[in-house]
Each structure stands twice: as C-alpha cells, then as structure tokens.
Structure 1
Amino acid sequence: MEISKYKFVLDDHTKNYAKECLNEDESKYNRCIEEIQKWLKTQPQLHAKADVVNIVRFLRCGKFDLDRTKNRINEFYTLKGSTPEWYANRDPTLPQLQHLLDLGVFVPLLKKDPNGRLVVIIRAAIHDAKKNEQNDIFKISTMILELAVERDESISVYGIMAIIDLRGIGFGHVRQLTPGIIRKAVHSWQSCYPLRPKGFDFINAPSYINVVLNIFRQFMTTKLKKRVHVHGSDFSALYKTIPQDVLPEEYGGTNGKIQDLIDYWKTEVTNARDWFIEDEKYKAEL
C-alpha cells in the first residue's frame, strides 16, 4: 500500500482523542510512515509487515515517537520468532485449538466500554490443567487478539481492558503459570503488541492469589502495576470502570450471553485460517 493512500477512517471524536493523547496528526503520517518503512528495509531479518495500517498501529502505541516505535516493532517480531510455542502452527482448525475456542478461554466483547476501549474476558481457569497446555492457551489467545486488532482500527487508538476471571482456579492452573511464561506474557503486553493495555481486573480471586500476582508484578513497569486491580466475588468496583451494559449476563451485565460471544469468535477465527497461516511468515529470523 502506498503511503499516500493511508486515510484516517474513524470518527471525529476518535481523531481528536488520537491527536490529544497520542500526538497523532495527519501532517505526521507520511513522514513517519516513510521513516519506518525505510528503517524496515535495513532490518530484513525482522520480516515485519510494512503496510501503512500496521505501521500506524505501532506509531500510535509509541505516540509517534520514532525510536519508541522502532523498538516496539523489533520486540514484537523478535517475540514471534523466538516463541514458536505461541506463534508457530497457528492453524485454528487444529483439534486442541478448536477445543479452547469452544471453552472460551479468551473472549473479546463486541461492545466497547464508555472510553472506547476493547474489553476482553480471559477465563484463566476454564480449562482442564491436566489436558490443556498453557502454551496452547496463550497461542489461541494471541490469535484472537491479533484478529480483533486487525479488524478494528479503533483498538490501536483507545487501548484494551482485560478482565481475568479466576473462578475455579486450582493448584494445577497455578503450576502452569511458571515464571518464564509469566515473564513472556507481561513482556508481550507491555513491550511488544501495538496496543495499549489500560487495565487488568482480576475477578473471582481467591485469597492466595497475590502470591501469583506478585510474580506478574515483578516484570511490570510501575505504570502497569497501577493498572492492576483485584476483586473477589463483589464486582461493584469493576462496574465503576466497565458498566454492566457492556458485560455479558454471566458477569452481572445486560449485554447478552457469553456463549454467543464464544460462538462468534470460534467462527471468526476458524474462517480466518488462511490469514493466520499467511501471517506466520512475519517473524524475525534469529
């Protein structure tokens, strides 16, 4: 895609938000995109996508600072190259991935929060820890997230809120979350993906959960630590951030049933099989 063909297609409110919060301005697009594209030609080992929409996602995450943008692009494609357990064999028709889609381990909501942010529900203990590998769970989760970002440009502007549901968590689930996996997960959200995590709300959290969360916090920046909130079974504080009309009925909301969302994303991800297979080539050679 030629640089001149990039057009801001979102509404005026989003355009004003991007200008105020992300240092985004139409006068910057051509210059910044061209600079990143030229730089990518000097980094052939990254095998990064060089189309303007993808570059603008990274520019937004770096608030149009070129050095920050280059660093995040490098981190993202290096992560994809160094973590085959998440980024190789991403065929959504594989039985183990279809099973996780059926369970709904990672479910983006179709209605945004009042601040325009994508809300995802991560059901961290819905799977059988004896049968399902944690790496497959991260694999299907990143696949769903990347497809959502690919299809909705506003996510790169407003960011994402994550609700991590710990209902039913047991020792087997905790054992799967090794420090190495936790470090990679935090690194991917914090330093790699072209999106801005705006909050992590842990719900249905048992009393001992801080033992696990303290491992997460070890790898977080001070800024990200402040965005972590822990709730038990009382969601009243959560509703102040994410209103009930955004959430499905199973979480005290009024926005349909979570099974409908599970079915929707299973269909969308499965139908995008060719896209995922094509996307696998975009990763660094290490």
Structure 2
Amino acid sequence: MSGKYVFTLDENDKKYAREHLNETEERRETALIEMKKWLVEEKPNLHARLEDKYILPFLRGCKFDCEKTKVKLTNYYTLRRNQPQWFQNRNPLLPEIQELVKLGIFVPLTLTLENRLVVIIRTAAHDPKKHKQDDVFKAGKMILDIAAMQYERAQIYGITAIFDMTGVNIWHAKQLTPNMIKNAVFAWQNYHCSPKQLEFINAPLYINVVLNIFKNFMSEKIRKRVRVHFRGVNSLHEIVDKNILPPEYGGSGESMKDLISFWNEKLLSHRVWFAEDEQYRAE
C-alpha cells in the first residue's frame, strides 16, 4: 500500500468538497480507515485496491456515507469480475483498442466546465459491422480511468458527458442489447466518477426509443440529468462554453485530432498499470 493521501488541490476545491461532499481532513481520514478495515476484514473476496487514492473517489461519490460507499465498492469490483470483456486484457496496443481510440470514440477535453471533466463520446464513430460494442466500452473505460487519475477534480465535481449521435444507424442500435444497456448503466452508476450531465447532441428523431431503454435502468437522479439536443451543436453552446469545445464542435479549444493523440499517448504510457490493475476484481 502506498502512503497516506494528501489534499493538494486549492482552497476553493477544499471548500466545495466540504460543503457538497461532507469532506474534511478528519472525516476523510476516519472514513478511509473504516473502509480499508472493512475491505480487509469483511470483504477480502472483493480483492479491491487498498490505496487511499483508489478508495477516496468512491467515498466522494457517496458524500462520505460509508454504508453507501460499501455498496458502490461491492458493485464496482463485482462489475469488474462479471464483465471481463471490459476489464480484462486491457492492453492499449491491441489493434482493436488502437483503432477505436484513433476513431475518437471517447475523448476527454483538457479544458473543464465549472471544474467538471468534459468528455465527448462519439456513439457512431465505429463501424458496427467491424467493431464490437464491448470493445467500444472497454476502450472508453480505459481512457476514463486514466483521465480520472490525471484530473482529481473529476472525483469532486463530476463529469459532463456529451454523446454525439452523428451517423448513428440501425446497426449501431442492434449492438446495444437490453442486457448490454443494463450493464452499461450499472457501470455509470457505480464507477468512481459521477456523471453530472448527459447531453445528447445531433440526435435523430427516434432517439427517445433508444433512450427510454437506458432510462429504464437509470436511477431517478441520473435520469433527470439527461438532455437531448436536436439543433446540432447550437443548443449545446447554451450549456457548454464554446471556448472549451474543439473546433469540430464550434469551439476554440484543442482539435479532436490533437486530443485523440494526447489520450492515446497517455494510454500507451500506462500499459504496465493496466496489466497490474487487472487483478483487482471480486473473486
């Protein structure tokens, strides 16, 4: 186990964490001790990571309610066991992963929205006749894991997810079986970063048919965070500052090409970490 967590963010972050997440130095230390004791003595079968920096995001996501955190940790490590197609053999050099990353299926921005991490998810960038939906989810989660480690504020302020529906067709929809949708939503709701906004842009008129299936598995809280935009990116600009968006989305931020290259390099540099991380899953 590595050393004790040290809060290195600024005073505004500390104040926000205290007021919105119930996080204080004392509460953090007490909760981390309780969670580690529980994982070691009562839940060794989860085979969870015991370092402070890997437990803390779950505490923050549950506003330091230890009982809720225990549920989320159990769900998360069980998910890692039950969905090996997403969490095993996460080698960034795999051809199928490289193809999907370079297509830009999941692209975090380097500029933030009210301190939230912003991610563009291009739901139809891949060819459904060539690429497996499981590999799409796998590549996306790999990038999210690295982005969340690089940007700690995502644990505190959450994530704004922009789902670009451009080019979506019946073959993309057919990949998303009800069981896969159920597992995808379960993953969102039990991951170590909370989705605060889910913005669907360039949406086809039949989007609600697909979205309603997703919503069936969502908690009421997550359901209320879903918003659909039918007017291209124009209505998105009313919610997300154009200055942080790539030029491809009408903004003045970094290009999608540069962002894709940036995150691919990050993935490749974490190849050893991914290999080591695979062992952490429920037995």
CA distance in 2 between counterparts of 1:261 and 1:233 reads: 25
What residue in structure 2 maps to residue 274 of structure 1? 272
Please tell me the residue identity of whatever aligns with 1:124. Answer: T
Q: State the Cα distance separating 1:53 from its structure 2 match.
A: 1.3
Secondary structure of 2:141's match? Answer: helix
CA distance in 1 between counterparts of 2:254 and 2:8 reads: 29
CA distance in 1 between counterparts of 2:191 and 2:2 reads: 24
What residue in structure 1 maps to residue 223 of structure 2? 225
Q: State the Cα distance separating 1:2 from its structure 2 match.
A: 6.5
Secondary structure of 2:242's match? Answer: coil
**Structure 2 vs 1, CA of residues 128 and 234 (structure 1 numbering), >3 Å: closer, same or farther?**
closer
What residue in structure 2 maps to residue 195 of structure 1? 193
What residue in structure 1 maps to residue 241 of structure 2? 243
CA distance in 2 between counterparts of 1:274 and 1:6 reads: 23
Query: Structure 2: which 5+ runs fail to align?
Result: none
CA distance in 2 between counterparts of 1:133 and 1:165 reads: 19
CA distance in 1 between counterparts of 2:253 and 2:277 reads: 32
Please tell me the residue identity of whatever aligns with 1:29. Answer: R
Secondary structure of 1:122's match? Answer: strand
Q: Does 1:66 align with 2:66?
A: yes
Cα-to-partner distance string for 1:165-224 (whole Å, 9 max, x where unaligned): 01011111010111111111111111x111111011011101011110010110111111
What residue in structure 1 maps to residue 92 of structure 2? 92
What residue in structure 1 maps to residue 11 of structure 2? 12
Misfit runs of 4+, over 4 Å = none
Please tell me the residue identity of whatever aligns with 2:27. Answer: K
What residue in structure 2 maps to residue 126 of structure 1? 125
What residue in structure 2 maps to residue 22 of structure 1? 21
Kindly tell me the number of residue pairs found equivalent between the two proteins.
282
What residue in structure 1 maps to residue 252 of structure 2? 254
Q: State the Cα distance separating 1:271 from its structure 2 match.
A: 1.7
CA distance in 2 between counterparts of 1:68 and 1:240 reads: 34
Query: Structure 1: which 5+ runs fail to align?
Result: none
CA distance in 1 between counterparts of 2:270 and 2:53 reads: 19
CA distance in 1 between counterparts of 2:261 and 2:192 reads: 26
Please tell me the residue identity of whatever aligns with 1:218. Answer: N
Q: State the Cα distance separating 1:237 from its structure 2 match.
A: 2.8
Supply the RMSD in Å over aligned alpha carbons: 1.1
CA distance in 2 between counterparts of 1:2 and 1:93 reads: 28
TM-score, normalised by the number of residues in structure 1:
0.96
What residue in structure 1 maps to residue 156 of structure 2? 157
CA distance in 1 between counterparts of 2:177 and 2:2 reads: 44
Please tell me the residue identity of whatever aligns with 2:211. Answer: L
TM-score, normalised by the number of residues in structure 2:
0.97
Give percent identity, aligned residues only.
Answer: 47
CA distance in 2 between counterparts of 1:223 and 1:74 reads: 20
CA distance in 1 between counterparts of 2:133 and 2:176 reads: 8
CA distance in 2 between counterparts of 1:143 and 1:256 reads: 21
